[in-house]
């Protein structure tokens, strides 16, 4: 390692240790911090209890993207003042059991790295700060597409809408840790690079994937030949894929100072997408469909993970004054009631899981998405549902 790089890392770690020792008592420990008033035994509380006790205890944490989504929900509960100490303990244990294998060599691995940055911020402990910096160094070496977008895969160059959420989990937490706007600027750049290839200008919806290098690759999940067209792009607006985008935009705007030049474009992108989605919500169930632009079509199905993701992002947009409440509050009201009525499975008095979840999915045609297995209780669905529930009940 070069001497200048060693010096940079040492300064970084010492600064975080100093800041963390001050902040620890005003973060998840709750000192001098107003506490929200949780709804007694809300459905999200029952889902959260199931998630951390039964579905994935902290000592069973796996360093991957789906698990990172659930971990983010746990960390958010800590910071929102919901069962603070237990949630902080969960994040700490999850990071401690994965410390030796934690890395960020591709987007799905980067995602869990936010937990290290989070703990560095709230505890000031050196081990977490050093690991967060190592993961950022890994991130900087990920393969890029011709327009600078982070490749979803490390063996072929492809842009997927999933990627923006995975990398933003980590980069946004690095901004919160350091206060350095370079991390926000990188998220904004990646959103723009991915949107260049994936966004539909008319609706704001995103296609699932784009192939940059033209190299065929059988991942055992995608439909063969999905990029064999002039645009070299997937043909469908997948629900959960757009959910990742909505959450990324909402989370980024929530943190981004109004003085940053990138903000206006991201806000316009977010508003357009939210307005399109509001018109596609199913009035009966409060859900969006697996392929949102074909509501009610034979073979299509309501999908709870994208519903929670869309509703979470819209809720945060309302709270931050980006989306008008008179237009969008009915949307999230319907989603909140709809998940409870149509996509919740009770597992005893205090536990519940989420149903109507599209299983892990890659890129394909319309029939491909309609054929995906419908499951329950995945980490990403549990995490998205908890995050939506907790933000919704704080909405004024």
- Average pLDDT of the segment spanning 36-51: 81
- Contact (Cβ atoms closer than 8 angstroms) between residue 256 and residue 234: no
Query: What mean pLDDT is predicted for residues 127-138?
Result: 98
51-63 average pLDDT score: 98
Given a cut of 80, is residue 8 above it in pLDDT?
Answer: no
- Mean pLDDT confidence for 180-197: 98
* DSSP bridge pairs for 352: 346
Secondary structure (3-state) at 237: coil
Task: Indicate if the pLDDT at residue 112 is higher than 80.
Answer: yes
pLDDT, position 208: 98
Q: To 10 degrees, the CA torsion angle through 321, 323, 325, 328?
A: -150
The answer on pLDDT for 4 being more than 60 is: no
pLDDT of residue 34: 42
Q: 20-34, 87-101, 362-376: which has the minimum mean pLDDT?
A: 20-34
Q: What is the mean pLDDT of residues 333-343?
A: 98
Pair 387, 314: CB distance under 8 Å:
no
Band of pLDDT at residue 249, cut at 50, 70 and 90:
very high
pLDDT value at position 21? Answer: 44
pLDDT computed for residue 35 by the predictor: 46
Which residue spans within 244-325 are E strands per DSSP? 288-289, 302-303
Measured distance CA(315)–CA(302) in Å, rounded: 20
Largest CA distance in the chain: 62
For residue 127, give every residue at least 6 positions away whose Cβ sits within 8 Å of its Cβ, in sequence order, or none: 99
- What's the mean pLDDT in 30-56? 76
What integer pLDDT is reported at residue 131 of this predicted model?
A: 98
The per-residue pLDDT of the chain, averaged, comes to: 93
**Residue in the structure block whose two tokens are 């907790």:** 390
Mean pLDDT of 87-100: 98
- pLDDT at position 15, please? 59
Specify the 3-state DSSP secondary structure of 47: helix
Given pLDDT bands bounded at 50, 70 and 90, which one contains residue 37?
A: very low
DSSP state of 191: H
Average pLDDT over residues 62-90: 97
Percentage of the chain beyond pLDDT 90 is 87
Q: For residue 215, what pLDDT is reported?
A: 86
Is 17 a residue whose pLDDT tops 60?
Answer: no
For the entire predicted model, the pTM comes to 0.94
């Amino acid at each position: 390692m070069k001497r200048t790089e060693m010096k940079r890392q040492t300064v970084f770690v010492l600064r975080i240790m100093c800041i963390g020792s001050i902040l620890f008592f005003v973060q998840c420990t709750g000192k001098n911090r107003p506490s929200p008033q949780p709804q007694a035994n809300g459905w999200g509380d029952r889902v959260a209890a199931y998630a951390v006790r039964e579905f994935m205890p902290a000592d069973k944490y796996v360093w991957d993207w789906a698990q990172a989504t659930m971990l983010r929900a746990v960390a958010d509960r800590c910071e929102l003042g919901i069962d603070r100490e237990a949630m902080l303990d969960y994040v700490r244990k999850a990071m401690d059991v994965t410390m030796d294998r934690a890395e960020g060599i591709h987007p799905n691995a980067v995602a869990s790295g936010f937990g290290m940055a989070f703990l560095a911020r709230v505890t000031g402990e050196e081990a977490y700060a050093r690991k967060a910096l190592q993961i950022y160094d890994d991130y900087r070496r990920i393969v890029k597409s011709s327009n600078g977008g982070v490749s979803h895969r490390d063996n072929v160059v492809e842009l997927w809408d999933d990627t923006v959420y995975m990398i933003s989990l980590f980069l946004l937490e690095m901004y919160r840790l350091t206060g350095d706007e370079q991390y926000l600027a990188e998220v904004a750049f990646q959103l723009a690079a991915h949107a260049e290839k994936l966004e539909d200008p008319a609706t704001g919806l995103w296609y699932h994937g784009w192939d940059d290098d033209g190299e065929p690759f059988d991942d055992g999940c995608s439909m063969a030949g999905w990029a064999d067209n002039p645009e070299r792009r997937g043909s469908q607006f997948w629900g959960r894929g757009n959910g990742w985008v909505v959450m990324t935009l909402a989370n980024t705007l929530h943190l981004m100072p109004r003085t940053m030049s990138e903000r206006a474009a991201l806000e316009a992108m977010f508003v357009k997408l939210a307005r399109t989605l509001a018109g596609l919500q199913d009035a009966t169930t409060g859900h969006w469909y697996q392929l949102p632009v074909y509501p009610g079509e034979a073979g299509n199905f309501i999908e709870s993970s994208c519903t929670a993701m869309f509703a979470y992002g819209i809720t945060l947009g309302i709270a931050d004054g980006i989306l008008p409440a008179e237009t969008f509050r009915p949307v999230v009201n319907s989603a909140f009631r709809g998940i409870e009525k149509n996509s919740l499975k009770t597992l005893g008095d205090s536990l519940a899981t989420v149903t109507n979840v599209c299983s892990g999915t890659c890129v394909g045609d319309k029939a491909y998405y309609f054929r995906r297995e419908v499951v329950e209780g995945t980490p990403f669905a549990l995490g998205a549902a908890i995050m939506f529930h907790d933000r919704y009940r704080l909405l004024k």
